[in-house]
Chain A
Amino acid sequence: MRFSETGFNLEIDLSTGNVERVETDPGLTELHLGGLGTNARLLWDRVPPDVEPFSPDNLLILSAGLLVGTHAPGANRTIVSTISPQTLFMAYSMMGGFFAPELKHAGYDKVIIRGKSPKLTYLWINNDKVEIRDASHLRGKGACETAELIRRELGEPKAQVAAIGMAGENRVFFASIEHGRSSASRLGIGAVMGDKGLKAIAVRGTKDINIARPAEFMEFCNGVLKYIEVRDKKPVPGVMPILAGLGSPQEMKLIDEEWHTTNFMWGNSRTRRRDFWTKEIEEKWRGTQESVRKRLISCHNCPMKCGATISAPGVSTYMMKCFSKLTYTMAAYSDLDFGFRIAQRATEYGVDAYSAPQVMAFGLELREAGILSEQDMEGMPSDNEGKFYWLLDRIVRREGIGDVLADGTYWAAKRIGKGADAYAHNNIKKHEQLPLKLGMLNPVYFLMYSTGEKSNITQIEGQFPQAPFATKEEREDFVKDWIHVPHERFKQYLLDWEFRGERSNPYYPTVEMSCEIVDWQEMMHYIDDALGMCAGLSSFPLKPPYHVHNYPQIISAAAGIDIDEAALTKITRRNRTLVRAVNNRRGLTRDDERPPEDHWKKRFPELEAKLLDEYYKFKGWNKRGIPTRESLCGLGLDDVAEDLAKRGMLTPEEGVPPPQGSVG
């Protein structure tokens, strides 16, 4: 019997219509846990670097994590991996909700999709029965609408559906996969799904998920819930309200958006409005939010309420969470009512709420600058909000200028020319970033922005405060119950970190400390992504219930593989390194690892170079950001080392096999 996982993947070839239930190797679970880890292994093994994102040979993998569907609170994430049409590197967006647990109950850890269907189809997974069904009647339908239609058509109200909207069908480079309140949005995975001719996946499962050591495991689960109850009553003082508690930033619950609206940039990540937030705005936005918000909602088996059902007059009901509340509002210099309304349409179309608003604001800037002509924008209304709706409608249909903008700011600027690339100023690895422009370089954030393989800061940051606390008392108070640190010395790093003076940014935390802090934060995300645990209960908020010290026991009790902290660290390092290798093989090097030039006003080229040098060394990578043979073999990735060496990607001295006995 397999514990915590089902031990089976579902392999679908949409070109031939072949469907197979394939037993997986338990050894791979021991090496990679599951989720992102095993996804990376599949992409390494089966998608060679010459495979284009829109090739039938590209895989689209929807994976549950190892703990998904067990009683562990918050273990509900679907980890979607493929090759991104935008970055051309590995994409691994994720979503919460109910899809992954249902998939596990249907008897599968992953759905692996290859090939391309000549007709638009959807997949119906009903326990052992799997059908590829015609979806031509769903073409052009919204993502939420599609889910409802499929449930009705199947007569299965309990089926969980993940679907693309028009954006995915038309291969928009920032198209998402939508699933109720959740979406796997980043890096254009919806476009790959659309390219494969797959409109949706519906799943229904009624099988058990087994636990290796039930009593022990249950005690941990009870402990996690107890901790959440206590922690919920103790918000971290001295940080902005949306980051003081657990879960995703609680933007559906809270009205106070002073921090985002006065610190993040408006428009095409351009203008900071320091005095935007007033009592008047707060009252107005409170009125808007409370009138459209019907209920705060949760994902599978999680007490947090990060999502909400939104029902604005005149538009159909949808669900939302987190920062998408503000991205359209801020890109358009508009207000919250507009944000809630356009997000409804954007959700049905299925676009990433980080990229899409910026792409539209970028288009409007180009028009203002005269780089795009009046003809390019022919028919565009004159009012500000109207422009955004108009652009969104064109982008998802790839009509006219929409076809150019649908590739995202980087590729659109290339196609447009005439200096447009100066306006695509907020990208890392060709991917639009959160609209943040700051003053002083923060060494920890420099490393995270540069090297984060997901090209999204929220997917690497979390465990270490974003800024120093103002007073010594606050710092001492904070570290008192900071049981989460991997080592006591991290407490000292925080205690000594100040706003000004010798021990402040950019030279403090020191290069060495910064490497450790980044590595810890990233490690937590990689553990979560292998387990399918929501970052909101683990890697993202300060002082979460899951951490590096209790995870090994929880995983062991659930899955029956005995690991300690050292073993978990090694598995995580293996997964992290493998993702890097997949991307190195596709051309990723140090040159790609650059935050936007204008992210900070004050830059320190020498320090930045040193940070990268030392961090690469710390990670076991060479100066170009490629894992060395020694580190690959040390992680049991000898075949990866062999492949990289054959491609000439390891320099001769790094290609030398390690001395006998050091492998393992």
Chain B
Amino acid sequence: MKAEKKKRIVKTIRVDVDKCNGCRACEVVCSAFHASPKYSSNNPERSRIRVIHEPLRDIYVPVYAGEYSAAECAGRDKYTIDGKDYDECAFCRASCPSRPLFTEPDSGLPLKCDVCESDPPLDEPMCVQWCLNDALVYEEREEEVEEEAATREELETGLESLANKYGMQKMLDTVARISKKG
């Protein structure tokens, strides 16, 4: 079967750490936007963007909340850029047990940036709108992807690895059982 070409929008927030002045307006407005009803409260602790900052070491890194990870990484990264040492995980988006970031303060549930998805859609996410210093800039681009092919390839790789891990028969039994459940 010929792979279908599909168009999709890639949403990007360009983060210029040199322009960040550490005001945390992004945290304020993010938490306000996601409050229910909208803008009825704010609390940076609920924000899906946090500015990791250490003023005396001149470190300012706005980081967005990404995927939830049940387990922390086996190894950690520490970056040195322009002579400045960044803390472990400084650039990581994961909501994970290794650090107190990106979890709801009440429930402990993970938070994830949704680029301010709303109806009608916003021109730009709120954090970008409120960053007058342009440390956060929103960009959209269209990409054509061969979605079907990519998915098939991925699926095959995934199944192969499951078969390797659990054995072919066990995997097939499980697939049969799941499909019965409908």
Q: A residues within 8 Å of B by Cβ?
A: 69-71, 73, 98, 105, 144, 148, 157, 180-181, 206-211, 214-215, 217-218, 222, 225, 228-229, 232, 294-303, 305, 309, 311, 316-319
Inter-chain contacts of A311 with B (CB < 8 A): 58
Could you say which of B23, B24, B40, B129 contacts A210, with CB atoms under 8 Å apart?
B40
Additional A-B contact list (7), CB under 8 Å, known A148-B56, A207-B43, A228-B132: A210-B41, A214-B38, A218-B38, A299-B23, A302-B25, A317-B56, A319-B55
Q: Does the CB pair A295–B58 fall under 8 Å?
A: yes
Within 8 A of A (CB), among B30-68: 32, 35, 37-46, 54-58, 60
Nearest residue, chain A, Cβ from B106 = A206
**CB-CB under 8 A for A144 and B56, given A208-B43, A214-B38, A303-B132:** yes
Could you say which of A69, A302, A319 contacts B42, with CB atoms under 8 Å apart?
A69
Inter-chain contacts of B129 with A (CB < 8 A): 222, 225
Q: Does the CB pair B41–A297 fall under 8 Å?
A: no
Q: Does the CB pair B44–A105 fall under 8 Å?
A: yes
Docked pose: A386 CA to B100 CA in angstroms: 47
Q: Does the CB pair A301–B25 fall under 8 Å?
A: yes
Docked pose: A299 CA to B25 CA in angstroms: 10
**CB-CB under 8 A for A70 and B132, given A144-B56, A295-B58:** no
13 chain-A/chain-B pairs, Cβ below 8 angstroms? A148-B56, A214-B32, A225-B129, A294-B58, A295-B60, A297-B22, A298-B21, A300-B24, A301-B28, A302-B23, A302-B25, A309-B58, A319-B56
- The minimal Cβ–Cβ distance linking A584 to chain B, given in whole angstroms, is 40
Docked pose: A540 CA to B81 CA in angstroms: 39
- The minimal Cβ–Cβ distance linking A590 to chain B, given in whole angstroms, is 43
Could you say which of A144, A206, A318 contacts B105, with CB atoms under 8 Å apart?
A206
Nearest residue, chain B, Cβ from A127 = B105
Docked pose: A215 CA to B35 CA in angstroms: 12
Docked pose: A294 CA to B20 CA in angstroms: 12
Q: Tell whether B157 is near chain A: CB-to-CB under 8 Å.
A: no
Q: B residues within 8 Å of A by Cβ?
A: 21-25, 28-29, 32, 35, 37-46, 54-58, 60, 105, 129-133
Across the A-B interface, the 6 shortest Cβ-Cβ residue pairs:
A298-B23, A214-B39, A303-B132, A206-B45, A208-B41, A218-B39
- The minimal Cβ–Cβ distance linking B56 to chain A, given in whole angstroms, is 5
Inter-chain contacts of B55 with A (CB < 8 A): 180-181, 297, 309, 319
Inter-chain contacts of A301 with B (CB < 8 A): 23-25, 28
**CB-CB under 8 A for A225 and B43, given A297-B21, A309-B55:** no
**CB-CB under 8 A for A71 and B40, given A296-B21, A299-B23, A300-B23:** no
Docked pose: A50 CA to B42 CA in angstroms: 43
Inter-chain contacts of B130 with A (CB < 8 A): 225
Nearest residue, chain A, Cβ from B46 = A208
Nearest residue, chain B, Cβ from A181 = B55
Docked pose: A218 CA to B28 CA in angstroms: 12
Q: Does the CB pair B23–A71 fall under 8 Å?
A: no
**CB-CB under 8 A for A71 and B43, given A303-B132, A319-B55:** no
**CB-CB under 8 A for A105 and B21, given A144-B56, A297-B55, A319-B55:** no
Inter-chain contacts of A70 with B (CB < 8 A): 42
Inter-chain contacts of A316 with B (CB < 8 A): 56
Docked pose: A336 CA to B23 CA in angstroms: 27
Inter-chain contacts of A209 with B (CB < 8 A): 41-43
- The minimal Cβ–Cβ distance linking A297 to chain B, given in whole angstroms, is 5
Q: Does the CB pair B24–A225 fall under 8 Å?
A: no
Docked pose: A228 CA to B23 CA in angstroms: 15
Docked pose: A214 CA to B35 CA in angstroms: 10
Q: Does the CB pair A214–B133 fall under 8 Å?
A: no
Could you say which of A71, A207, A228 contacts B32, with CB atoms under 8 Å apart?
A71
Nearest residue, chain B, Cβ from A305 = B21
- The minimal Cβ–Cβ distance linking A589 to chain B, given in whole angstroms, is 43
Q: Does the CB pair B58–A71 fall under 8 Å?
A: no
Inter-chain contacts of A300 with B (CB < 8 A): 23-24, 28
- The minimal Cβ–Cβ distance linking B180 to chain A, given in whole angstroms, is 46
Nearest residue, chain A, Cβ from B133 = A303
Docked pose: A311 CA to B84 CA in angstroms: 14
Inter-chain contacts of A317 with B (CB < 8 A): 56-58
- The minimal Cβ–Cβ distance linking B100 to chain A, given in whole angstroms, is 8
**CB-CB under 8 A for A214 and B23, given A206-B45, A301-B28:** no
Docked pose: A424 CA to B44 CA in angstroms: 48
Inter-chain contacts of B29 with A (CB < 8 A): 71
Docked pose: A298 CA to B22 CA in angstroms: 6
Inter-chain contacts of A208 with B (CB < 8 A): 35, 41-43, 46
Inter-chain contacts of A296 with B (CB < 8 A): 21
- The minimal Cβ–Cβ distance linking A103 to chain B, given in whole angstroms, is 13
- The minimal Cβ–Cβ distance linking A257 to chain B, given in whole angstroms, is 22
Nearest residue, chain B, Cβ from A295 = B58
- The minimal Cβ–Cβ distance linking B101 to chain A, given in whole angstroms, is 10
Inter-chain contacts of B39 with A (CB < 8 A): 71, 211, 214-215, 217-218
Inter-chain contacts of B35 with A (CB < 8 A): 208, 214
Inter-chain contacts of A228 with B (CB < 8 A): 132
Q: Does the CB pair B132–A229 fall under 8 Å?
A: yes
Inter-chain contacts of A69 with B (CB < 8 A): 42
Docked pose: A227 CA to B98 CA in angstroms: 41
Inter-chain contacts of B40 with A (CB < 8 A): 210-211, 214
Docked pose: A623 CA to B51 CA in angstroms: 54
Docked pose: A134 CA to B6 CA in angstroms: 64
Q: Does the CB pair A305–B44 fall under 8 Å?
A: no
Nearest residue, chain B, Cβ from A222 = B129
- The minimal Cβ–Cβ distance linking A658 to chain B, given in whole angstroms, is 44
Q: Does the CB pair B132–A71 fall under 8 Å?
A: no
Docked pose: A311 CA to B35 CA in angstroms: 40
- The minimal Cβ–Cβ distance linking A552 to chain B, given in whole angstroms, is 20
Inter-chain contacts of B133 with A (CB < 8 A): 303, 305
Inter-chain contacts of B43 with A (CB < 8 A): 105, 206-209
- The minimal Cβ–Cβ distance linking B106 to chain A, given in whole angstroms, is 9
- The minimal Cβ–Cβ distance linking B39 to chain A, given in whole angstroms, is 4
Inter-chain contacts of A211 with B (CB < 8 A): 32, 39-42
Inter-chain contacts of B32 with A (CB < 8 A): 71, 211, 214, 218
Inter-chain contacts of B24 with A (CB < 8 A): 98, 300-301
Docked pose: A207 CA to B104 CA in angstroms: 11
Inter-chain contacts of B42 with A (CB < 8 A): 69-71, 208-209, 211
Inter-chain contacts of B37 with A (CB < 8 A): 214
Docked pose: A181 CA to B22 CA in angstroms: 12
Nearest residue, chain A, Cβ from B40 = A214
Docked pose: A300 CA to B55 CA in angstroms: 13
Inter-chain contacts of A295 with B (CB < 8 A): 21, 58, 60
Docked pose: A269 CA to B132 CA in angstroms: 39
